[in-house]
């Protein structure tokens, strides 16, 4: 894993189940897991084969009952490991259907669900031909990407020329740009059926990190006119794919000005940023913990079923990204509607701006009566943050980037 302990405290989740987690942790995140028995630091976690070799060696010495992976970048190799060890759980074919956007959209379109016109880019003529047929704007993205990394909107020939100069993403696809507001459905599938679903909408968009603009999300209460419709839509998308017996899911869908729902994409994992903490703040339901229990101790699952959050009990999150400068101060004492604060920053460190939607500098869980109030609170929070954060040296565009793994968590009980 390469996630913060606050997101994946597997030892706490399994404490009452008799499960003994053996954790393979990136060297960068390992200080947060040092206290967990069975945690192993993996120096080159994301590439180089260290994680795979360590996993097979560990499985030989202590055969596991399950392979757990929450991060999108871990899903395919976890699926293959399950197959090698003949363990239950999501297999490689199912995982690939959720990870490969070309395969995903092909399967969903076959079921009759609307998706944008799209095409894989195998050679440059695929992109040029698509633009010639469909015109601008178009979106180019890695087929196996995550966190909006490498995603670009081409609005005209100048954008196309810039992309060709920079180089196409590996295994890319191109699709027509869809006008509309982005909505999200996150939930849990257990024993082959959806048992919880929560609807939210983005505040700003997933490419905000490119421009240093905050990204946020607000939960829709179950009395919102779109909640039922979006959850029903999510079930149809899950039915169109080889959905495993147990998974969380993160569906992004456009609601167009002419009232259509058009698929953006879906992942067989929990939404990023502070999606799970925001759901917990609104409902008391820990989505990731229930996903973990469904795989290792299904008898310990809560009996609660969720179809959106209750009226009057919304929540959301906001994340702020680094600038191309040196950080000298962060704001203190967040407003009372902030339920949780997470900081991933080092004062005095120099950053090179946002590189991925999940790589935030500071993040906050907000509460409110509904999505509209959460959005108003997000605007107020952005003003508070701007007044308190301090950067120097903006002119130094080639400064060394510091990546910090320290995280602090503050729960506001006001």
User: Which pLDDT value is given to residue 399?
Assistant: 36
Give the Cα separation of 336 and 353 in Å (integer).
Answer: 29
DSSP assignment, residue 65? Answer: S
The reported pLDDT for the residue numbered 212 is 57
**Using CA atoms, how far apart are residues 252 and 266, in angstroms rounded to an integer?**
6
How far is 347 from 329, CA to CA, in rounded Å?
A: 6
The count of other CB atoms within 10 Å of the CB of residue 111 is: 11
Q: 79 and 71 in contact (C-beta within 8 Å)?
A: no
- Give yes or no for a contact between 250 and 184, defined as CB atoms under 8 angstroms apart: yes
- Please tell me whether the peptide bond between 137 and the residue prior to it is cis, using omega within 30 degrees of 0: yes
> Can you give the pLDDT of all 414 residues of the chain as single tens digits?
999 999 999 999 999 988 889 999 999 999 999 999 999 999 989 888 999 999 999 999 999 999 999 999 999 999 999 999 999 999 999 999 999 999 999 999 999 999 999 999 999 999 999 999 999 999 999 988 765 677 899 999 999 999 999 888 888 999 999 999 999 999 999 999 999 999 999 998 655 444 557 899 999 999 999 999 999 999 999 999 999 999 999 999 999 999 999 999 999 999 999 999 999 999 999 999 999 999 998 888 887 789 999 999 999 999 999 998 999 999 999 999 999 999 988 899 999 886 655 678 999 999 999 999 999 999 999 999 999 999 998 754 443 333 333 343 444 434
Give the pLDDT confidence score for residue 410 in this predicted structure: 43
Parallel/antiparallel/unpaired status of strands 261-267 and 247-255:
antiparallel
CA atoms within 13 A on the CB side of 34: 4
Nearest-angstrom CA–CA distance, 256 and 205 = 15
Question: How far is CA 177 from each of CA 115, 139, 262, 265, 266, rounded to the nearest angstrom?
Answer: 11, 6, 11, 13, 17
**Alpha helices per DSSP H over 184-273:** 208-211, 227-240
3-class DSSP assignment, residue 355: coil
Neighbours of 91 (CB within 10 A): 14
Nearest to 299 by CA among 13, 17, 53, 111: 17
Q: Is residue 88 within a helix (H) or strand (E), and if so which, with residue range?
A: none
CB 81 within 8 A of CB 90: no
pLDDT at 356: 58
**What confidence score (pLDDT) does residue 355 get?**
62
Q: How far apart are CA 330 and CA 322, in angstroms?
A: 11
For residue 159, give the H/E element and its range: helix 157-166
Residue whose tokens read 């008799």: 18
SS3 content of the chain, % helix, strand, coil (to 5): 30, 25, 45
Cα–Cα distance, 308 to 199 (Å, whole number): 6
pLDDT of amino acid 412: 46
**Beta-bridge partner residues of 39:** 23
């Amino acid at each position: 894993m390469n996630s913060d302990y606050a997101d994946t405290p597997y030892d706490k989740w399994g404490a009452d189940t008799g499960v003994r987690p053996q954790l393979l942790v990136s060297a960068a995140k390992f200080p947060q897991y040092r206290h967990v028995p069975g945690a192993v630091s993996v120096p080159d976690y994301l590439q180089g084969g260290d994680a795979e070799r360590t996993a097979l060696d560990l499985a030989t010495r202590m055969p596991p009952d399950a392979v757990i992976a929450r991060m999108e970048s871990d899903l395919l190799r976890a699926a293959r490991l399950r197959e090698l060890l003949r363990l239950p759980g999501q297999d490689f074919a199912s995982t690939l259907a959720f990870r490969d956007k070309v395969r995903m959209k092909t399967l969903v379109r076959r079921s009759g669900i609307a998706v944008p016109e799209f095409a894989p880019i195998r050679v440059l003529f695929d992109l040029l031909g698509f633009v010639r047929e469909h015109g601008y704007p178009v979106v180019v993205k890695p087929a196996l990407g995550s966190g909006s990394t490498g995603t670009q909107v081409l609005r005209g020939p100048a954008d196309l020329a810039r992309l060709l100069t920079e180089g196409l993403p590996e295994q890319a696809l191109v699709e027509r740009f869809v006008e509309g507001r982005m909505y999200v459905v996150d939930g849990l599938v257990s024993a082959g059926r959806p048992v919880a679903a929560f609807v939210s909408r983005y505040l700003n968009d997933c490419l905000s990190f490119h421009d240093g603009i905050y990204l946020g999300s607000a939960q829709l209460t179950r009395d919102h006119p779109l909640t039922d419709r979006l959850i029903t839509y999510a079930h149809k998308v899950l039915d169109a794919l080889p959905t495993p017996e147990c998974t969380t899911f993160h569906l992004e869908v456009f609601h167009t000005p002419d009232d259509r729902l058009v698929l953006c994409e879906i992942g067989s994992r929990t939404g990023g940023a502070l999606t799970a903490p925001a759901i917990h703040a609104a409902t008391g339901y820990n989505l990731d913990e229930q996903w973990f229990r469904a795989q290792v101790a299904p008898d310990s699952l809560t009996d609660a079923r969720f179809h959106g959050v209750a009226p009057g009990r919304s929540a959301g999150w906001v994340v702020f990204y680094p600038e191309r400068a040196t950080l000298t101060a962060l704001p203190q004492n967040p407003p009372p509607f902030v339920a949780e604060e997470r900081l991933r920053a080092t004062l005095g460190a120099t950053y090179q701006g946002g590189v991925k939607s999940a790589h935030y500098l500071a993040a906050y869980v907000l509460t409110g009566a509904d999505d509209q109030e959460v959005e108003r609170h997000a605007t107020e929070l952005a003003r508070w943050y701007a007044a308190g954060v301090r950067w120097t040296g903006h002119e130094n565009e080639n400064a060394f980037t510091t990546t910090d793994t320290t995280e602090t968590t503050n729960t506001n009980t006001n």
